[in-house]
Amino acid sequence: MPRARVNGVELFYEVTGEGDPLVLVHGSWVDHHTWRLVAPRLAESYRVVVYDRRGHSGSERPPGQGTRRQDEDDLAALIETLDLAPAHVAGGSFGGSTALGLATRRPELFRALAAHEPPLLGLVEGDQEAEAARLRLDAVFADIRGGDHATAARRFVEEVVSGPGEWDRVPESIRQTFIANAPTFLDEQSDPAWAMIDLPRLAAGYTGPALLTTGSEGMPWFPGIVAKLGKALPGARVVTLEGAGHVPHLTHPDAYVDTLTGFLRAATAAGGGPGR
């Protein structure tokens, strides 16, 4: 089991395929297995790196309050330790927030950036749907603090990011991963800056190729976030994945791979990379 000690924490990672490096950053609750349906196809064209973020599954769970900035620095250190820079980086949900946050500060590490539905609620402050989502998150936090991690996971999936009945469609192995990683989700959300991003700094600092996606069946507050990011990032491509929701790499893997690889091929052909 390959592990790398980066930024003071030991992270599990896997590398498959050959070609330009593509780092996949998973969201909250899950781990590197969330990419299992898309990684094999992506590895036909790219050197694909998946890893468990700190506090998740095979990686170290350090004590004390964590921050998204630590996750960003972990990603930076992993890219540098594995000699991947500049790399294509694609993140889903909180993984998308992590990638965007790092691109704000370390754009030279990126050849291209893709993010699906990053939950940057700070960008839609005051939006009625976003405020309702925050209230539903409070109930999830209460379940975790009370030790009922299974109820918290179901509530998060069905009331915050996907919709009624979606928890029962999640494979059992992933449901168990959700439950095991529930304390880390609470830790992430206890970071006061988890939902924020410095949009002017992102716009000024990251000028490389960017793909921002949302699902047509996702929660109604995601398109507003993606739209604001799209307006801020020069030349960003904004795509709605028809029929998909918050986890297209699991529900619509072929459409996700086709969209991502099409974007990466175009970015490479255009000479995209750090500082462009």
Global pTM reads 0.95
- Residues forming beta bridges with residue 114, ordered by sequence position: 90, 211
Q: Where in the chain are the domains?
A: 3-124+196-269
pLDDT grade for 275, boundaries at 50, 70 and 90: very low
Residue 272 has pLDDT above 70, yes or no: no
Closest CA to 127 of 213, 225, 268: 225
Model pLDDT for residues 179-204, shown as the tens digit of each residue: 999 999 999 999 999 999 999 999 99
Predicted pLDDT of residue 121: 93
CA dihedral 103→38→161→215, nearest 10 degrees, is 80
Q: What would the DSSP string read from start to end of the chain?
A: --EEEETTEEEEEEEES-SSEEEEE--SS--GGGGTTTHHHHTTTSEEEEEPPTTSTTS---SS---HHHHHHHHHHHHHHTT--SEEEEEETHHHHHHHHHHHH-GGGEEEEEEE----GGGGTT-HHHHHHHHHHHHHHHHHHTT-HHHHHHHIIIIIIS-TT-GGGS-HHHHHHHHHTHHHHHHHHTSTTTT---HHHHHHH--S-EEEEEETTS-TTHHHHHHHHHHHSTT-EEEEETT--S-HHHHSHHHHHHHHHHHHHHHHHTT--TT-
In angstroms, the CA 76 to CA 78 distance is 5
Reported as half-sphere exposure (CB side, CA atoms, 13 A), residue 241 has a value of 28
pLDDT grade for 274, boundaries at 50, 70 and 90: low
The answer to whether domain 3-124+196-269 has CATH 3.40.50.1820 is yes
The tokens describing 110, both together, are: 């990126």
Mean pLDDT, the chain, rounded, equals: 94
pLDDT grade for 164, boundaries at 50, 70 and 90: confident
